[in-house]
Amino acid sequence: MSSPPSADEERAAPRDADRVIETRGLTKTYRGGRPAVDGLDLAVPRGSVFGFLGPNGSGKTTTIRMLMGLIEPTAGTARVLGRTMPGAVRQVLPRVGALIEGPALYGFLSGRDNLRRFDAADPAADPRTRSERVGRALERVGLAAAAGKKARTYSLGMKQRLGLAAALLQPRELLVLDEPTNGLDPQGMREIRTLVRELAADGTTVFLSSHLLDEIEQVCTHAAVMARGRLVTQGPVAGLTSAVLGPAARARLVVATPDPAEAIRVLGERGLTGLRADGDRVTGELPAAAPQGTAPADGTAMADDSVPPDPAELNAALVRAGVRVRAFGTERASLEDVFVQLTGEGFDVAG
């Protein structure tokens, strides 16, 4: 008899009523090639900010195009907002905002007039309130000051913002964004992250495709990792590192010191493991609890065995032992560590 699912498994696979996107065996094979997407089983919880991760060529955009009814799958099914795609495209798409492979803009029109065209194409849009909607969308993505400029004069980042504004003209249950920070400077990336958080707080589910792991890690509640067309893992972001890496996901202490050998000795006496030095950089794994029955060489008292070592006390112990500490801190495993562990490869972030 199989055991009941754990709490982590239940969060990773939400019940049908709580799924905004659900795929079963979703596959797309182009003529003469290997599958671009191969047997994808995806479950996107309602109200989440869901990061869809993978290097370029991993099948992310092909998946999104199938979800939006732009191409038909070779096999399997895709359900969006409870309806099967592409059959229900007319019922589903008015409830979805999307930015896929960059916006298609009229270069000879201003940013504002481009949005007016997009809004006019929506049969549900009230023309009497069009100007208000367009102005609000431009303001929200930081383009109000450039609204009168021709779209052909926009930078890549400004075009991305305008495409996002088009997706936000109407309230949406689901927002699908394919590489939304492409071409944006760091300030623009921060603004998009803030906007995504605001949309999620308002109840919009955001499905965000990217190869920029640090961006996803900062904004997403859930994530799925793709590699070579296949789903590698999915679940809450907070649980992915511990679920995949296990003990290797524990926090690591990082110390910069010109006395690495002495630092390793002191930290080893306080229960750190995996200690190593790379020049003047010493790293080691912080234990979950201080080891029992080990007294520090300098005579200071050990912490209670049920309490993990306090980084501040570790720093003080180094100083008491005469170790010159130039920098001191902790670091945790990242989503990139998870990806490398699962696939044996890193991310191609250049394309």
Report residue 29's pLDDT band, with 50, 70 and 90 as the boundaries. very high
Q: Say if residue 348's pLDDT is above 60.
A: no
Share of the chain above pLDDT 70, in %: 80
pLDDT of residue 238: 73
Q: Say if residue 72's pLDDT is above 60.
A: yes
Average pLDDT of span 239-258: 68
Average pLDDT of span 253-280: 91
> Parallel, antiparallel, or unpaired for β 75-80 and 19-29?
antiparallel
CB neighbour list of residue 119: distance below 8 Å, 6 or more residues apart: 125, 130, 133, 134, 169
Distance CA 112, CA 220 (A): 30
In this structure, whether the domain defined by 7-245 belongs to CATH 1.10.10.10 is answered with no
pLDDT of residue 337: 62
Q: Which CATH architecture has domain 251-331?
A: 2-Layer Sandwich (3.30)
pLDDT of residue 145: 94
Q: Say if residue 77's pLDDT is above 90.
A: yes
Report residue 328's pLDDT band, with 50, 70 and 90 as the boundaries. confident
Mean pLDDT of the chain: 82
Q: Say if residue 185's pLDDT is above 60.
A: yes
Which has the closest alpha carbon to 191: 173, 165, 169? Answer: 165
Report residue 333's pLDDT band, with 50, 70 and 90 as the boundaries. low
Share of the chain above pLDDT 90, in %: 44
pLDDT of residue 222: 92
pLDDT of residue 88: 93
CB 49 within 8 A of CB 197: yes
Q: Say if residue 347's pLDDT is above 60.
A: no
Q: Say if residue 219's pLDDT is above 70.
A: yes
pLDDT of residue 286: 78
- What are the structure tokens assigned to 72, written together? 């038909």
Delimit the domains of the chain by residue range. Answer: 7-245, 251-331
> Please, where are the H alpha helices in 71-185?
89-92, 111-120, 130-140, 156-167
Average pLDDT of span 216-245: 79
Cis peptide before 186 (omega within 30 of 0): no
Report residue 253's pLDDT band, with 50, 70 and 90 as the boundaries. confident
> Parallel, antiparallel, or unpaired for β 273-278 and 281-285?
antiparallel
Higher pLDDT, 294 or 320: 320
Q: Say if residue 125's pLDDT is above 50.
A: yes
The most confident of the ranges 109-123, 268-282, 330-344 is 109-123
Distance CA 249, CA 23 (A): 30
Higher pLDDT, 13 or 57: 57
Report residue 46's pLDDT band, with 50, 70 and 90 as the boundaries. very high
User: Residue 270 is which amino acid?
Assistant: R
- Burial label for 267, CB within 10 Å (0-12, 13-18, 19+), is buried
pLDDT of residue 257: 93
pLDDT of residue 242: 58
CA distances from residue 5 to 12, 16, 32, 178, 231 in whole angstroms, order as listed? 10, 16, 40, 32, 20
Q: Say if residue 130's pLDDT is above 90.
A: yes
Higher pLDDT, 293 or 330: 330
Q: Say if residue 346's pLDDT is above 70.
A: no
CB 175 within 8 A of CB 207: yes
Average pLDDT of span 97-119: 90
pLDDT of residue 324: 93
Average pLDDT of span 38-58: 91
